[in-house]
Structure 1
Amino acid sequence: MSLKLPLPPGFFQCPPLSPDDNARYLEIAKQSVQDLVAKARIRDGPVKWTMLSNECDLKIYKGEGTGTTANSDIHCAAMETVGQLDEVMRLYRTDTTAQAKEYVQRFGRALVDAITLYTILPRHPDRPNNCIQIKWMVAKSPFDGLVTKRDFCLLESDLEFQVNGKRAWVRAYKSVELACVPSLRESLNLIRAFQYDMGHVFIESDRPGYLDMTYLADMDVKGIVPVWANDQAVIQWCRNLSDIDRFLREDRLRGSVQSAAAASAKAATGSSVKHQVSGSSPTWGADSTFDGTSQCSSDDQSNYSESMVGTSVVGGHNTKLYSQVHRQHYYPREGTSTTASSAASTVPIMASYQPHHPTSTNTEYTGELSPVSPLLRAPIILE
């Protein structure tokens, strides 16, 4: 039987991860978050940005030169929206394959399919907004049918922290290679692209009740795609920031309607409305062990490790990462330090923690705007 998208949740048969593999992905995740936060700085960051598109509230930039490699391009988008950080984190809750596929349906501008493969760091009551997973995703171009779809095997890192004393949350992606996720070029005509750094940075704005949203993509799409087509594809992905604004408004309206319905039902019955909870419902860490080993759940494997802090050198800039935020704040005890010797270095996991209120970092996401010349469209061969 021929394959077609979307793929079933159990399509990829991934074996449990070893403790060493789990620890390695944790290190990659930490570096991924650090690099994304540094590159997403519009002003005084490691990337020099040029305006590519100005769409009212949404500003889209392209980095001068190339991205991480000679074959990669780097783009960034910034927008301010009405909203709370907790609303965004609820919107992006995609832990299971079912949630990931629902997310793809809602954010259908560029995404086609998604499957959760592994959970490296599961959510915990002390840090419910932090989660690290490995996922397979498929993306399409605005010229779908003319430009071949791309798939990715990605390490997805969700972490809450603080910037300049303000709450912030990051979703960072970095491509990884897994033997259990082979190329699907022959079976589905998908070209495996590579994300060096991609994701979103959400920070509470100086204006109460607003959020500063930044999206960054530093990737190599592989295949044969002209610059103008690649730019248009990334611009479409950047426009997902506008979708976030709309989805937050929709969720707010839906919540208001549900609250009104619940209040009406309570008034009619004279008692509160309750819901059924299945005895088999998962609890925190139900499918996880806390000794570094992994166990199979319905559509992913769960592994556990602790918190992370540190510094990173990105593009010659020494960037303080963050102080991680939990319901209870933890930080390395005095006498423990972390340093990074190079852009590719990783930060050791701290084994000792004490309550701490995070300090601010000096990260800025606004910058000067400058025009860019129109894109020239030459005859091309698309793949």
Structure 2
Amino acid sequence: MSLPLPRDFFDCRPLPQSEEHDLLDLAAAVCHDTALNALTMAQRPPSKEIINEATKRRATLHFGTDLVDPAMYGLTGVSRLRTTIDELVDFLLLTTPEKVRIYGNVVGQAVLDRMTLYQLPPRDSSMLAASVQWAVIENPFLSSALTLKRDTCFLEVLQRIEVTDPATGQRRRGLVRATHSVAMDSCPSLRKSHNIVRGALIRSGHLFLEAQDGEFDYYYTYIVADPGSVPKFVSLRIFQKIVSQMLNVEHHFALTRLPALMAEIAKEPRRRFKPDGAIAACEACASKFSVFGSKRHCYKCHQVVCSACIQTYAVRTQ
């Protein structure tokens, strides 16, 4: 049988109330522990710095271990993000196949199949969504000819959070999207039937904490419970590639906002671009223009910038 599986493939009978309560308790704990994993790893020395060429936003990558089980190792990326809670919730609340596809494209996940096994009732107003999911996600950073497909049965939780930052001791508010693998009788291994290996993510996900001036400190934590026979140094290289996709999130938001922004600009009186002959350096990065270097004008702010500081997009406006 090939993917996608029939929608009634898994026998998901109603959960006993006690099991539902246990899952909700675990969901709350996973959100808290994922946030602490991110903040604790972020205090370790960075192993690498990366940059998004479109937004020029940077992130640092930090190796570390799971706080609950130090035998599990992982990676956390740390950056900043200009957004709003509403924009984050809309992006992270994966309620339709289209939203799953968009999320996968942004964070570099090739989702081959996905099903909601159980929708859990939020335990309080801070828990925006909680569910048990099953998914087959292909690793885009490894050749499909060299690896078996992996599936995961996991808790997926989106929750507003208040957490103590271990770096400062201060309480901080924000949003966490956490994932944590669970074993469910209704979701058995597909190794024999489909040659799909069951993987496990542990207390991993995205954490956004309020900062200043409409920005959030953004952490992306990735911990795999059992990497199989893959050597640790190879796993960490893969983790780096996965976590580095975090810088795509701000770029995605910027592109999403562009049509409305351009429509607003179109309503304003047209301004002439300033003469660029006397401008010797890029007004964005301060790099000096070379003799043969091109000067570009930003359509929105009318700054004169170098080719490295400007992106060109075709935008459809109404």
- What TM-score comes out, normalization by structure 1 length? 0.58
- Structure 1 position 205 matched with structure 2 position 211: yes
User: What are the within-5 Å matches in structure 2 for residues 68-107 of structure 1?
Assistant: 68=69, 70=71, 72-96=72-96, 98-99=97-98, 101-103=100-102, 105-107=104-106
Separation in 1 of the partners of 2:42 and 2:90? Answer: 30
TM superposition shift of 1:131: 1.0
- Which residue, out of 124, 133, 136, partners 1:135? 133
Rounded to whole Å, the distance in 1 between the matches of 2:176 and 2:66 is 25
Question: Aligned partners of 1:168, 1:66: CA distance in 2, in Å?
Answer: 20
- Runs (5+) with no aligned partner, structure 2: 52-57, 164-169, 268-318
Q: Which amino acid aligns with 1:21?
A: E
* Counterpart in the other structure of 2:304: none
Give the deviation of 1:48 after TM superposition: 6.6
Which position in structure 2 is the counterpart of 1:33?
31
Q: What do residues 178-227 of structure 1 show as CA deviations (whole Å, max 9, x unaligned)?
A: 11111122333321112221111101223x02121101122223421122
2:234 alignment partner in structure 1 = 229
Alpha-carbon contact 2:41-2:65 (below 8 Å) kept: no
Instruction: Give the equivalent residue in structure 1 for 2:48.
Output: 53
Structure 1: runs of 5 or more not aligned: 264-383
Contact 1:109 1:236 in 2 (8 A): no
Do 1:82 and 1:245's aligned partners in 2 also have CA atoms closer than 8 Å?
A: yes
Question: What is the distance in 2 between the residues matched to 1:18 and 1:258?
Answer: 52
Q: Which whole-Å CA distance do the structure 1 matches of 2:41 and 2:216 have between them?
A: 23
1:77 counterpart SS class? strand
| 8 Å CA contact 1:66, 1:74 repeated in 2 | no
Confirm or deny: 8 A CA contact 2:159 2:176 kept in the other structure.
yes
- Shift of the 154–252 alpha-carbon distance from structure 1 to 2, 3 Å rule, reads same
How far is the alpha carbon of 1:104 from its aligned partner? 5.2
Q: For residues 42 and 79 of structure 2, what CA distance do their matches in structure 1 show?
A: 18
Change (3 A) 1:187 1:40: same
Distance 1:104 1:86 in 2: 16
Distance 1:104 1:73, change over 3 A: same
**Cα 1:58–1:157, aligned 2, differ >3 Å: closer, same or farther?**
same
Identify which range, 172-181 or 229-238, moves more after superposition.
229-238
Distance in structure 1 (CA, Å) of the matches to 2:178 and 2:67: 20
**Greater Rg by CA:** 2
Q: TM-score, normalised by structure 2?
A: 0.69
**8 Å contact from structure 1 (residues 33, 172) kept in 2:** yes
Percent identical residues? 24
Alignment partner, residue 147 of structure 1: 147
Aligned partners of 1:188 and 1:259: how far apart in 2?
Answer: 52
Bigger mean CA deviation after superposition, 249-258 or 215-224: 249-258
Return the alpha-carbon distance in structure 1 between the equivalents of residues 16 and 265 of structure 2: 49
Partner-residue secondary structure (3-state), 1:187: helix
> Counterparts in 2 of 1:271-286, with a 5 A limit?
none
Once the two structures are superposed, residues 231-271 of structure 1 have per-residue CA deviations (whole angstroms, 9 ceiling, x without a partner) of: 1221122022112111111221245478899x9xxxxxxxx
AA partner of residue 171 (structure 1) = R
- What is the aligned partner in structure 1 of residue 109 from structure 2? 110
Contact in 1 for aligned 2:50/2:244 (Cα 8 Å) = no
Q: Which of 172, 175, 185 is matched with 2:191 structurally?
A: 185
- Find the aligned partners of 2:201 and 2:104 in 1 and give their Cα distance: 22
Distance 1:28 1:257 in 2: 45
